[in-house]
Amino acid sequence: MSTYYYVLASQRFLLEEEALDEIFKERTRNYQEQEKQIDFWLVKQPSFLEAPTMAKVKAKCPQPSAAIISTDPKFITWLKLRLEYVLTGEFESPSETIPDALVSLQLA
């Protein structure tokens, strides 16, 4: 099993009100300098919220939602401090199905 950490908010908040482009550009540049593989993803309408164990989290988040998912808990903690009005948490997904953890329910 792989553990994924997330920051969750409404799509409007994450995609329109916050400067995610700047955050992602800086983080990507930093990873390239350190020759580190990208370990974060932006997912609209994340499918992990459909799990029965996530019902309470989904109910707290305005819809449609978006999540930044990472395998790095420190990055998610930093985002929580930077973005402030977001939900955070973690979930596990079988490592052989990593793409399943990142599936979006939003069509194009």
CATH classification (class only), 2-92: alpha beta
Cβ-proximal residues to 52 (8 Å cutoff; 6+ apart), any chain:
none
pLDDT tens per residue across span 69-100: 999 999 999 999 999 889 999 998 875 554 56
Tokens linked to 75: 């990055």
95 φ/ψ angles, rounded to the nearest 5 degrees? -60, -30
CB 18 within 8 A of CB 79: no
pLDDT tens per residue across span 8-30: 999 999 999 988 999 999 999 99
Residues 44-53 have a mean pLDDT of 90
90 φ/ψ angles, rounded to the nearest 5 degrees? -150, 160
Name the residue ranges covered by the structural domains of the chain: 2-92
